[in-house]
């Protein structure tokens, strides 16, 4: 295989990767507000966050989500699902229960302590 062939093959491979990346980033068609709201609610109902009964409103492609949850991760999941449904912007007004916030802080602190213990227990040669 000659150097020119290798160069052409590399250029072709790079261009195909570029085209695939741009194809994935292509904008999706904009849904009417009522249809977008239905799509977001359908995604919520298929996920674990359905137990929270969040309220969803869409106006001008901007989704507003309101409600309360006892699971801190449900707030981020709601935003992600709304964006995947096609919302241009998401206003997440979900309130996380204080007990859930405290538990998340304890879990984070415990994870840090575990990592410190693990690092200090490793012997270097």
Which of the four CATH numbers 3.40.50.1240, 3.40.50.300, 3.30.70.1770, 3.30.450.80 does domain 27-118 have?
3.30.70.1770
| Separation between Cα atoms, residue 100 and residue 104, nearest integer Å | 6
State which H helix or E strand residue 67 sits in.
Answer: strand 62-69
Least confident segment among 10-14, 70-74, 90-94: 10-14
Length of the chain: 125
The helices-and-strands tally (H runs, E runs) of the chain is 4, 3
The 10s digit of each residue's pLDDT in 3-38 is 555 555 555 555 555 444 445 555 566 789 999 999
Domain boundaries, the chain: 27-118
């Amino acid at each position: 295989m000659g150097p020119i062939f290798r160069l052409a093959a590399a250029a072709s491979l790079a261009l195909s990767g570029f085209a695939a990346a741009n194809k994935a980033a292509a904008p999706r068609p904009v849904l009417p507000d009522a249809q977008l709201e239905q799509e977001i609610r359908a995604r919520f109902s298929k996920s674990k966050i359905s137990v929270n009964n969040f309220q969803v409103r869409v106006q001008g492609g901007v989704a507003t989500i309101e409600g309360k949850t006892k699971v801190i991760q449900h707030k981020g999941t709601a935003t992600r699902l709304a964006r995947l449904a096609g919302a241009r912007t998401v206003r997440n007004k979900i309130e996380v229960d204080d007990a859930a916030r405290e538990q998340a802080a304890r879990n984070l602190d415990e994870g840090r302590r575990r990592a410190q213990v693990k690092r200090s227990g490793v012997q270097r040669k």
